[in-house]
Amino acid sequence: MINISRLKKINDSLWEIPKDSRADMRVPARVYATEKMLADISSDKSLEQLMNVATLPGIVGYALAMPDIHEGYGFPVGGVAAFDVEKGIISPGGIGYDINCGVRLLLSKRTREQILPYIKDLGRTIFAEVPSGVGRGGRLRLTESKFDAVLSQGAEYMQQVGYASDEDLQAIESGGKLPDANPQRVSLRARTRGVDQLGTIGAGNHFVEVEYVSEIYDEPEAGRLGLRLGHVCMLIHTGSRGLGHQVATDYIREMNLAMPRYGIALPDRELACTPFRSPEGQAYWGAMSAAANFAWANRQVITWEVRKAWQQVTKDRGNSLTLLWDVAHNIAKIEEHTIGKRKKKVIVHRKGATRAFPDQPVIIPGSMGTGSCVLVGQEGSLQQSFGSSCHGAGRRMSRHRARAQIGVKELRKQLEASGIVVNAGSRRGLTEEAPFAYKDLEEVVNVIHAAGIAKKVARLKPLAVIKG
């Protein structure tokens, strides 16, 4: 564990571990947090992991951590790092096992009061329409050629086969498609794990939530985004399922074997990486991009299922749930950023971090008992954080510890007493995601707002939770 007294205060929202703190660090490490939050953050190995990231070849600027930081595999969750495209590395641990885990927000024209009489039926119907749970398959059975089309084209392919509209594609980061996807770099094992999982949320912290806009902080921005006080919306949180997990597993193993050929020595083998321009780096890039496309296609099919459930229960017809925005928070993207005074092409790793370019929506889910926040990216994100923000509240307690703290009956009772309808397939999965296992969402978001990375626009509160 790192002693927080070693951190240098930059301002009330930002702290730095200087480059000279360790001989192998190539850049300083920075963490966005309040002084009060640092005690929680320093209770695990996440800051040590952030320092390890600062040792990687080709890293530029800073190794960064958002206020939702907690210990992860290799990189901390809530970590952001940018590497020179020509001289730097790519690391699966800097993206995560659930490639393109992300969130999307759908807006309705109905108010909370109009939906409350239907809320139990709506929760049950969504639970029936959207398959959830470990290994649970979906409604689609894809031929090899159609599966390749999903991996190559992502949400764009789902539009071709009737699951998405033109308007949907315009509201997805990167249009729901990374162009460098290479299905041939996805192993047979990964394909087997993903072939029947389109349209499924899986387990863990993934969910569909029925929420409503409970508070508006910025009226002009809320109006621009179409957020209206009291109106109901849907939040979808999931990623690339077993396919993405297997892609990460395959390439972490391959990169661990390849690193000696490139003279790369690491403080932690979980940081396994190779030069981005190496054959192994390019193979992983093609496979990661394919898995990211799969995740966008997955969220698109789930959107179709949620719209079907909504129409069945409310009898609304037509474009009754419009997509506000879909954003990834476990992904690498090639972007151009100003480093010093020069523009440089870099590969930005965001692991549990959300892209927050100026004027773009930033969707931050909290725990299932506390709701979510919508922010809008600011110019400060490009100046400070490679256009990145936090991605959620961030865990403050392990899943094992959370399960030990509360039983499923008591948790259900607490949630229902708060007016939240719960539909979950797994008793264990529900208690692992108890609200007290997460940091205070408001505190996390306030750091991002104060830092000038993204500004608060609206708060959402849950009415129904659908989990695996």
Backbone dihedral region for residue 397 (phi beyond 0: left; psi -120 to 50: alpha; all else: beta): beta
- Exposed/middle/buried for residue 257 (C-beta within 10 Å: 0-12, 13-18, 19+): exposed
| 90 Cβ neighbours under 8 A, 6+ residues apart | 83, 273, 274, 275, 276, 281, 284, 285, 332, 347, 349
Active-site entry in 231, 245, 329, 391? 391
**Is 391 in the active site?**
yes
Tokens for 432?
């692992």
CB atoms within 10 A of CB 237: 24
- d(CA 371, CA 125) in angstroms, rounded, equals 21
Q: Is 37 helix (H, G, I), strand (E, B) or coil?
A: helix
- d(CA 313, CA 321) in angstroms, rounded, equals 13
Q: Is 172 helix (H, G, I), strand (E, B) or coil?
A: strand
Backbone dihedral region for residue 420 (phi beyond 0: left; psi -120 to 50: alpha; all else: beta): beta
- d(CA 392, CA 466) in angstroms, rounded, equals 18
- d(CA 295, CA 274) in angstroms, rounded, equals 24
- d(CA 31, CA 68) in angstroms, rounded, equals 10
Tokens for 198?
């389109």
Cβ 320 vs Cβ 233: under 8 Å: no
Sign for the CA dihedral angle at 248, 96, 102, 339 comes to negative
Q: Tell me the residue type at 258.
A: A
Tokens for 231?
């109106």
Residues with a catalytic annotation lie at: 391
